């Protein structure tokens, strides 16, 4: 059906480019600066033009749903498995047959029906004030519900999907009742009502408003490499602690992508997904976005190496996405606003 007009080598992988697919339409919840350089490289290597639309993750999912079979979207790129699973449950994605994708992405980091695949890994962990907290005082995420942390913890609201997925992972591993008791204890230890993003939690720790924050490591990596000295100085007052290293491991989520159900440029969309998981693209994400590569053997950035190695949870992320609604109900019952 398709005539292969060119074959290019990228990171030692041959990618066949179908002549009929001259463009691919990408709906991305990732900011342009965090995705466009990779897309530009893809276009340079393949000759396939990328039409990029960026926006709020939930708004993009709603847009694809409302556009229905007339949607121009070929690829959805978004953050957190909760949103990827939401797109799947709404029937907005389709299965992708690709040996490259299934070989490069571990089973726990992709949909069982191959409707979405991880592009990067994002660790959500404990960050603490170097001057006021010793690493010896920390052990597990469950330990943050202990009385000694009363009035000392900052975290985003329950409306944040990163927190929802973290709680969903706890429900899967600890059960609802134990997770509920933990969440109640955590809420009682808040230094202030949840507000702001992950960088705001880190800056609050640096400013002495709290001693502990729960945040994704790429935010801290971004602050440490920021051109704004105030961001750098705040980040330097905070250290990363990897909880639960003696048992199940720390919570790790993803950014990921899938091909839209009514994609008109399906082959080009598949080629793009494969391209984004080549070693060179994975290394770019690690260096410039401070995220962990999905593929084994890809070198981490210098700042990620400073955070040290860690053991991650092993549960399938698809299950985390499926438990999103249960996590929301539990957090509400715990008084997590």
Task: Give the per-residue pLDDT at 18.
Answer: 45
Give, in degrees to the nearest 5, the angle at Cα 254 between 41 and 21.
35
Question: Which of residues 21 and 146 earns the better pLDDT score?
Answer: 146
Q: What is the structure's pLDDT at 3?
A: 36
Average pLDDT over residues 154-177: 98
Domains belonging to the chain, first-starting first, are 4-121+253-305 (3.40.190.10), 123-251+309-333 (3.40.190.10)
3-state secondary structure the chain: CCCEEEEEEECCEEEEEECCCCEEEEEECCCHHHHHHHHHHHHHHHCCEEEEEECCHHHHHHHHHHHHHHCCCCEEEEECHHHHHHHHHCCCEECCCCHHHHHHCCHHHECCCCCCEEEEEEEEEEEEECCCCCHHHCCCCHHHHCHHHCCCEECCCCCCHHHHHHHHHHHHHHCHHHHHHHHHHHHHCECCCCCCCHHHHHHHHHCCCCCEEEEEHHHHHHHHCCCCHHHHHHHCCEEEECCCCCCCCEEEEEEEEEEECCCCCHHHHHHHHHHHCCHHHHHHHHHHHCCEECCCCCCCCHHHHHHCCCCECCCCHHHHHHCHHHHHHHHHHCCCC
Neighbour-count burial for 225-264, b at 16+ CB within 10 Å, e otherwise: beeeeebeebbebbbbbbbbeeebbbbbbbbbbbbbbbbe
Residue 16 has pLDDT above 80, yes or no: no
Mean pLDDT over residues 11-17, rounded? 41
pLDDT for 17 equals 45
Sign of CA dihedral 140, 144, 145, 147: positive
pLDDT digits (tens, 9 = 90+) for 107-164: 999 999 999 999 999 999 999 999 999 999 999 999 999 999 999 999 999 999 999 9
Looking at per-residue confidence, does 263 or 31 come out higher?
263
Mean pLDDT, to the nearest integer, of 208-231?
Answer: 97
Quick one: pLDDT at residue 1?
A: 38
pLDDT computed for residue 33 by the predictor? 86
Quick check: 12 pLDDT over 80? no
- The mean per-residue pLDDT over the stretch 206-229 comes to 97
Residue 265 pLDDT > 60:
yes
The mean per-residue pLDDT over the stretch 228-236 comes to: 98
Range in 27-36, 148-157, 243-252 with the lowest mean pLDDT: 27-36
pTM above 0.85, yes or no: yes
Q: What is the pLDDT of residue 204?
A: 98
Residue 8 has pLDDT above 80, yes or no: no
């Amino acid at each position: 059906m398709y005539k292969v007009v060119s074959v290019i080598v990228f990171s030692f992988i041959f990618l066949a480019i179908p002549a009929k697919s001259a463009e691919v339409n990408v709906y991305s919840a990732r900011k342009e600066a965090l995705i466009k350089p990779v897309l530009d490289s893809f276009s340079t290597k393949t000759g396939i033009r990328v039409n990029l639309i960026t926006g709020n993750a939930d708004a993009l999912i709603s847009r694809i749903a409302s556009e229905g079979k007339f949607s121009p979207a070929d690829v959805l790129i978004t953050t957190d498995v909760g949103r990827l699973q939401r797109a799947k449950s709404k029937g907005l994605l389709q299965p992708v047959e690709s040996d490259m994708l299934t070989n490069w992405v571990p089973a726990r980091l992709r949909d069982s029906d191959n409707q979405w695949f991880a592009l990067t890994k994002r660790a959500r962990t404990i960050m603490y004030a170097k001057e006021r907290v010793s690493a010896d005082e920390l052990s597990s995420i469950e330990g943050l519900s202990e009385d000694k942390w009363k009035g000392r913890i900052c975290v985003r609201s329950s409306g944040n999907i990163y927190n929802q997925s973290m709680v969903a992972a706890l429900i899967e591993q600890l059960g609802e009742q134990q997770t509920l008791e933990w969440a109640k204890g955590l809420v009682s230890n808040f230094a202030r009502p949840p507000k702001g993003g992950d960088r705001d939690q880190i800056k609050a720790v640096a400013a002495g408003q709290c001693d502990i924050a729960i945040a994704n490591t790429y935010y801290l990596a971004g602050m440490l490499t920021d051109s704004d000295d105030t961001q750098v100085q705040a980040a330097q007052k905070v250290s990363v602690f990897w909880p639960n290293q003696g048992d199940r491991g720390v919570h790790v989520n993803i950014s990921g992508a899938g091909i839209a159900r009514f994609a008109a440029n399906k082959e080009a969309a598949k080629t793009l997904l494969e391209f984004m998981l080549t070693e060179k693209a994975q290394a770019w994400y690690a260096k410039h976005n401070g995220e962990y590569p999905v593929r084994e053997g890809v070198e981490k950035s210098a700042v990620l190496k400073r955070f040290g190695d860690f053991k991650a949870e092993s549960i399938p992320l698809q299950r985390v996405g499926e438990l999103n609604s249960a996590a929301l109900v539990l957090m509400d019952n715990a008084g997590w606003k």
